[in-house]
Structure 1
Amino acid sequence: MRLFLCEKPSQGRDIAKVLGATRRGDGCLIGTETTVTWCIGHLLETAPPEAYGDQYKTWSLDHLPIIPVQWRVEVKPKTAAQFKVIKRLLNEASTVVIATDADREGEMIARELLELCNYRGPIQRLWLSALNEASIRKAMSSLKSGLETFPLYHSALARSRADWLIGMNLSRLFTLLGRRAGYDGVLSVGRVQTPTLRLVVDRDRAIASFVSVPYWGVDVHLSSMGQPFIASWLPPSSGTDEAGRCLLQALASRTVQAISSNESATVLSLQTEHFREAPPLPFDLSTLQEVCSRKLGLGAQETLNIAQALYETHKATSYPRSDCRYLPESMFNEVPTVFDALLKTDSALRPALGSLDLSLHSRVWNDAKVTAHHGIIPTTEPANLARMSEQERQVYELIRSHYLVQFLPHHEFDRTQVELKCGEERLTAVGKQIQVQGWKDLLHDAAEEDEFGQKSQVLPVLQQGAQCAVNDVELKSMHTAAPKPLTEGDLIKAMKNVAKLVNEPRLKQKLRDTTGIGTEATRAGIIKGLIDRGYLLKKKRALMASAAAHTLIEAVPVAVADPGMTAIWEQALDEIEAGRLSLDAFVAKQANWIAQLIARYRSLTLAMPIEAGPACPICNASMLRRKGKSGPFWSCSHYPDCKGTVPIRKETRRP
């Protein structure tokens, strides 16, 4: 019997339908010679510390570091019944086809089960980019060898074990150090979550320390041949900051008077450049999350859930957890089929599709830039828009439009910069003249406008020496603005582009082409976990770090919270996936690093924001706030040598 092992029941049903496995069994679908079964996400989990010894049930510095010699996994209690089904089917299987999600985590979900159940038979890999029937049949015709994707499993195991070593050991270490300093909460530390948290803490600090500075500008309203335009004053360097802003109100006021006394300004020079903007590429998951945060106000996890539903439930779009925005050359042949499916999905598209050129071969078709997955695009089969929620439809239309613009011309425009002189003052004006609207006919994003940081205006036809009439002069009083709080979309972008935040030149170069902090599949979950733990607070779209988050970032070693270090770890996982680094070598290095950190920090005294307590009634030492079965109380800081306690009155308890 050939057994297909899927990641989710819905995925199993889609594959079983194509295979003709229609007879229902216990946790599976059965065909003539084929059975399809499924996990329910991860059926197994890495065993907790107490599984390696009863001594670890109590948190103690004496027990750290905890480094397993033989790693263990445990069956999740909620899905134990399905595990038994899969174990029975594996005993009967002659061949297994891994049909879980085509990524690192999907590989691990299947391979851990095969290993725990001691399956030793042949293994093949079904590599799906979409769950519509045509895509499944295409993938069935080109099954991969199990050996080809095995390194993905070791990469996922390395990630899992590194996360365990850092999370279990450092969370216990800093929680215990916090308790010693009187902090009664848990200080949770994670390989990815802590550097991610630092990004928000750093932004909060930048906002809190920001001091607004007043500055002044002068806009000069000019006209030539009856056509008005606006020029800006170029202040002398002696009165400006590094950004060229005038900091002297008196200087700006004198300039207004000086320019007002002139009737005209003379064109000193003008330069025109022609620009061609290629259509934006189809989405990868991070870019989709950024755009959905900005345009639709969706959280990162919300966007991922919607993209997963469009892929899994509606069969409308391709695999969502992609880190690639390009498409394979071979898929160019499917364009007419995709267009036909889009038209059947939404007949209102007919006018828009009529303006597209299906022969255009944009930069998106590039085999050299396609990774394990391609960009997120519509599938070759019609979808049912009526079954989609409003948000699902909005996200679907974004994905669709980014595919369709590949068949429109470049957006072309001329940018002209003019320098003028008015009396003794220098002015500049920038104009944009659109020559070809191109893809912006279909996809227009106001946030992507103003790419040169200038007001968009059409300048009159000017030439050197031309005289322009001065119609009005405007003094503008402004203030420098504090950095804005991060949104979830901003945080996803910062996690992905972490190289920009690293100052050390060699590390910065190494990180330039890596995936940054986390992966496409994990970033949304990391952010959600930080929100759920109370480290991140969300106010409308803005994220802010809680007091506990600031405490944690101040307490942990710089290396643990360094985004650059985390991205280097991700690079190591890629090396394992490529077969250039072994799983054991990576885990041993992580274990050694953890042991060194614990040895260095176990005697650290944390400076925690602790509520001041009374003096101990027995030894007069300071008292620390503790949490007991009946609520908080004051306990002597010399415990257990001194067991003095004082109850906390109700009115003094924290809200």
Structure 2
Amino acid sequence: MASAQTGRTLFFFEKPSAMRQLQRFFRAPTTVCVAAEGHLLAAEEPGAIRAEWKPWRFEALPIAVERIPVAYARSRSGASHAGKVEAIRAALAGVDRVIIATDPGREGSMIAWEVLEHLGYRGRVDRLKLGALDEVSIRRAFAALAREPDSGERDYAAYLEALCRRYEDWHLGLNGTRAMSLRLRPPAFREPWRFGGVQTPTLAILADLERRIRDFVPRDFFKIALPVEAEGGAALTLWHAPKERIFAREEAEAIREAASAWAGPLAVAQRDVRRPPPRLFSKDTLARRCAKRFGWDPQVTAGYAQDLYDRGFLSYPRTESEHLPEAQAGDAALVVAAAAGILGLPPDLAPGPDAIVVRRGPRGHYVRDPGEHHAIVPLRKVPRPGEVGPEAWRLWDLVARSFIAAHLPDGIDARTTVSAQVATPLGPKRFAVTGSVVRAPGWRALYGAEAEDDDPVPGKARQDDEPAAGRLPPLRDGAPARALDARVETARTEPPRRITRGELPVVMGRLVDQVEDPALKRALENPVNPNEPKGLGTAATRDAVLPKLVKSRYVALARGKDPAIEVTEAGLAFIDAVRRVFPAYGDPVGRAVFEADLAEIGRATTRAEAARRAEEFCRRTRGRLDALIAAVAGADRLAVEGAPSPAPGRAPTPAMIAFATALAARKGVRLPRGLKTSAAVCRGFLDAHAERREAPPPGETRPPTPAMLRFAQALAREKALDGLPPEVEIDHAACRRFLDAHAARSTGSEPRAKPVDRSRGKRGSDGTAAPRRTRRPRAVRRTADAGSVPP
């Protein structure tokens, strides 16, 4: 689009709320503002590109294009964005400079650039990077814009990185899902096997953990308690609980016997232990804390944080960093004062400029370069009572207290350790106990009883606590003591903990904590920013992975405030198939390294360099795609025993549970986990076992459709029946007879129309029609691949 040299400038925003925040600072006849409200363009469906790509046929794979055509996206209400795009086209008339003011990051850049590319705009483009929407941050952003004449060039590189990510998502999701479903999916699983560049290795992490949990065999281990009496009659109990656990009872008994006769001096060591405040919040750690404390889904947390950002109360929330730039240390006193004032904190918890503690370096809170976006912090603008909803206030309060705590003194504990060396036939053994007293609460006074220790590493077994006592009697170093007795106590090893919904984004971002191999840990180091090791996905996209895995029935969520994630049989079978056919896609570390290479596109300093890197990436993507299809073509279908995957949902009826229990007892098989709480698990078990074992005549084993079952359940409730008969749950003909009988009585006259099987005609994970014999998932939101990847 040609642009007249009139000096007009267009500001391109992501949301009207942000546009209103900035319009307070500039209003001129030569300035025009537009707001996109999300992605306005979406990638075309394969069937719309070529008619032969609409059916699911393995012979048509791979489906690959040089440039993904785009169409107008739709709003949540279903309205087309065509009008908004055309309004932006009109606004661009006569504009020779565009300032992109969308949210910082790749997605924000793409929202604007995809429209500008689609409309053919060729004028100057600059990037306004808004880390926050308060007045101070906005003025700083404009000052930075004036100092960066090439901001548009670098932002175009970020756009191309986002475009390449979607290019890969579109091609891998489309081809991988069809190939795996058509060629490798066992008959026991009816849902399509959805495939994705990030979700598949994420599932691999969960599947590996699931295998370790299922294969875990608990073992008894032993600790030895040694009650002793010291001078003056002081009594306490020492413990021998080494990190290298004692699994042989004979060894424990030998130590106990020697300890029971012990007498000698006690070693008493006292020292002060400093406890610095925890790190500031990144998007993932904030999601984890809110899940643990409030039970929020990470996407709920992200929504509240985004709203607070849009209103100028929080800094940009989609960040991977837990640090602040050193240049912002001077703002701390004013922000603390504003937050402490609205929270009503006493003076000792609202330090003034002279009492502010600034911790610098990687172990502190301020570093030279915190990355693309710094940690989530409050701003000088604070929400007044009633200005935000109660949930948003809880989130702001959590972030504000974290920031204030980061500038308060360390907590100090006086720690006393009492120990004794006992000679045994197995060598000298140490018995000890530790007691701690708070000498100075420091930052912990801000939280009171809610002060939390560091969160454990997700997916790891719980660590044994050091033997501790609430209070220790006063003792001097070297005080003589003697054993009163000694006993062996038995404990049991525990399996690794399942990763929870709130922890998964942290696991994806800090993959380095999940690996033990030193070589793999080195591979995950990030030389560009050592504080942010390589991980899976981006902070902006990790929240969306778990819903996709749940929808695909690869995982199920347990109950609880922050539910644990359990991998289903379908998820385990899918990962087994991926690793058998194309191991690279089931390797989380390899994927993290691959994504780090992808991020290099966004670090290009010129448009030409970014285009060259993007072209090379797309070429590699098409090569990987060809290799994947070839590998699937030469592989055998995976043989899996068992029922289809469990899925979250309603509980089964008592009749279903009774039927399943009878089948299991008669055939000598175990009921699957979750059968008594999930109707999907129970129905899957009945489908797999009742049909095969009862051997009904051909043509009568087809299960009822979901629509028929919903209709039958509604009729059962209407007629106050005690659930559905078990055969109705699993047999199409029986369900048909039930509907005919009860629907006719319900109307009092003619039978109701035959229920429609609405599973027909739904679309697969790539948005195209699924095979006729496969139950179709609902259409998913289209991905936008606006503009064009460089050829």
**2:633 maps to which residue?**
602
**Deviation (angstroms), 1:435:** 4.7
Tell whether the 8 Å contact from 1:184 to 1:625 is kept in structure 2 after alignment. Answer: no
Measured in 1, the distance between the counterparts of 2:704 and 2:51 equals 23
Partner SS state of residue 489, structure 1 = coil
Matches within 5 A, 1:272-421: 275-313=273-311, 315-348=312-345, 350=347, 352-354=349-351, 358-363=355-360, 364=364, 366-413=366-413, 415=415, 417-421=417-421
Q: Say whether 1:266 aligns with 2:278.
A: no
**Deviation (angstroms), 1:111:** 0.6
Tell whether the 8 Å contact from 2:319 to 2:375 is kept in structure 1 after alignment. Answer: yes
**Deviation (angstroms), 1:252:** 4.1
**1:8 maps to which residue?**
15
Greater mean deviation of Cα atoms: 369-378 or 88-97: 88-97
Partner SS state of residue 420, structure 2 = strand
- Give the AA of the match of 1:329: E
Partner SS state of residue 592, structure 1 = helix
Partner SS state of residue 477, structure 1 = strand
**Deviation (angstroms), 1:414:** 5.6
Over 3 Å counting, the alpha-carbon distance change for 1:498 and 1:184 in structure 2 is: same
**1:477 maps to which residue?**
490
Measured in 1, the distance between the counterparts of 2:510 and 2:274 equals 25
Partner SS state of residue 466, structure 2 = coil
Over 3 Å counting, the alpha-carbon distance change for 1:219 and 1:548 in structure 2 is: same
**Deviation (angstroms), 1:429:** 2.8
Once the two structures are superposed, what CA deviation does each residue of 1:55-100 show, in whole Å capped at 9, x if it has no partner?
A: 1011111111112122322211332322222222123423211011
Tell whether the 8 Å contact from 1:91 to 1:119 is kept in structure 2 after alignment. Answer: no
Matches within 5 A, 1:101-180: 101-143=103-145, 144=148, 145-178=151-184
**1:203 maps to which residue?**
209
- Give the AA of the match of 1:307: A
**1:453 maps to which residue?**
465
Partner SS state of residue 483, structure 1 = coil
**Deviation (angstroms), 1:131:** 1.6
**2:549 maps to which residue?**
530
**Deviation (angstroms), 1:587:** 1.2
Partner SS state of residue 519, structure 1 = coil
**2:616 maps to which residue?**
585
**Deviation (angstroms), 1:126:** 1.1
Greater mean deviation of Cα atoms: 606-615 or 151-160: 606-615
Q: Say whether 1:551 aligns with 2:548.
A: no
- How many residues are treated as equivalent by the alignment? 618
- Give the AA of the match of 2:466: Q
Measured in 1, the distance between the counterparts of 2:476 and 2:284 equals 46
Partner SS state of residue 142, structure 1 = helix
Measured in 2, the distance between the counterparts of 1:346 and 1:85 equals 44
**1:39 maps to which residue?**
36
Over 3 Å counting, the alpha-carbon distance change for 1:208 and 1:146 in structure 2 is: same
Measured in 1, the distance between the counterparts of 2:174 and 2:30 equals 45
Tell whether the 8 Å contact from 1:201 to 1:545 is kept in structure 2 after alignment. Answer: yes
Over 3 Å counting, the alpha-carbon distance change for 1:629 and 1:547 in structure 2 is: closer
- Give the AA of the match of 1:298: W
- Give the AA of the match of 1:12: M
**Deviation (angstroms), 1:602:** 1.2
Tell whether the 8 Å contact from 1:170 to 1:189 is kept in structure 2 after alignment. Answer: yes
Match of 1:430 among 434, 438, 447: 434
Match of 1:440 among 444, 448, 469: 444
Tell whether the 8 Å contact from 2:40 to 2:73 is kept in structure 1 after alignment. Answer: yes
- Give the AA of the match of 1:51: A
Q: Say whether 1:567 aligns with 2:589.
A: no
- Give the AA of the match of 1:295: R
- % identical aligned pairs: 27
Match of 2:24 among 17, 21, 30: 17
Measured in 2, the distance between the counterparts of 1:449 and 1:627 equals 46
Over 3 Å counting, the alpha-carbon distance change for 1:559 and 1:408 in structure 2 is: same
- Give the AA of the match of 2:446: L
**Deviation (angstroms), 1:627:** 11
* TM-score, normalised via structure 1 length: 0.84
Partner SS state of residue 141, structure 1 = helix
Tell whether the 8 Å contact from 1:184 to 1:626 is kept in structure 2 after alignment. Answer: no
Tell whether the 8 Å contact from 2:203 to 2:549 is kept in structure 1 after alignment. Answer: yes
Q: Which has the higher strand share?
A: 1
Tell whether the 8 Å contact from 2:351 to 2:408 is kept in structure 1 after alignment. Answer: no
* CA RMSD, 1 decimal: 3.6
Measured in 2, the distance between the counterparts of 1:129 and 1:446 equals 29
Partner SS state of residue 227, structure 2 = strand
Partner SS state of residue 19, structure 1 = coil
Measured in 1, the distance between the counterparts of 2:216 and 2:103 equals 45
Once the two structures are superposed, what CA deviation does each residue of 1:146-205 show, in whole Å capped at 9, x if it has no partner?
A: 123221111111111111121111111001114685743211000111111222222222
Over 3 Å counting, the alpha-carbon distance change for 1:627 and 1:589 in structure 2 is: farther
Tell whether the 8 Å contact from 1:181 to 1:605 is kept in structure 2 after alignment. Answer: no
**Deviation (angstroms), 1:322:** 1.1
Greater mean deviation of Cα atoms: 152-161 or 179-188: 179-188
Greater mean deviation of Cα atoms: 416-425 or 570-579: 416-425
Partner SS state of residue 265, structure 2 = strand
**Deviation (angstroms), 1:47:** 2.3
Over 3 Å counting, the alpha-carbon distance change for 1:517 and 1:172 in structure 2 is: same
Matches within 5 A, 1:180-195: 183-195=189-201
Once the two structures are superposed, what CA deviation does each residue of 1:589-641 show, in whole Å capped at 9, x if it has no partner?
A: 111011012112213222244748889xxxxx9x9989999999xxxxxxxxx
**1:518 maps to which residue?**
537
**Deviation (angstroms), 1:307:** 1.4
**1:90 maps to which residue?**
92
Tell whether the 8 Å contact from 1:414 to 1:435 is kept in structure 2 after alignment. Answer: yes
- Give the AA of the match of 1:544: E
- Give the AA of the match of 2:318: R
**1:215 maps to which residue?**
221
Over 3 Å counting, the alpha-carbon distance change for 1:506 and 1:45 in structure 2 is: farther
Greater mean deviation of Cα atoms: 425-434 or 121-130: 425-434
Partner SS state of residue 374, structure 1 = coil
Over 3 Å counting, the alpha-carbon distance change for 1:508 and 1:49 in structure 2 is: farther
Measured in 2, the distance between the counterparts of 1:423 and 1:599 equals 66
Tell whether the 8 Å contact from 2:337 to 2:350 is kept in structure 1 after alignment. Answer: no
**1:70 maps to which residue?**
67
**Deviation (angstroms), 1:466:** 2.4
Match of 2:505 among 489, 492, 510: 492
**Deviation (angstroms), 1:420:** 1.0
Measured in 2, the distance between the counterparts of 1:469 and 1:435 equals 31
Greater mean deviation of Cα atoms: 280-289 or 133-142: 133-142
Tell whether the 8 Å contact from 1:356 to 1:407 is kept in structure 2 after alignment. Answer: no
Greater mean deviation of Cα atoms: 462-471 or 135-144: 462-471
Measured in 1, the distance between the counterparts of 2:453 and 2:410 equals 18
Tell whether the 8 Å contact from 1:52 to 1:68 is kept in structure 2 after alignment. Answer: no
Over 3 Å counting, the alpha-carbon distance change for 1:601 and 1:123 in structure 2 is: same
Question: Which segments of 5 or more consecutive residues in structure 2 lack a partner in the other structure?
Answer: 1-7, 457-462, 527-532, 642-687, 710-729, 737-773, 776-791
Greater mean deviation of Cα atoms: 447-456 or 105-114: 447-456
* TM-score, normalised via structure 2 length: 0.71
**Deviation (angstroms), 1:456:** 4.2
Partner SS state of residue 95, structure 1 = strand
Greater mean deviation of Cα atoms: 288-297 or 246-255: 246-255
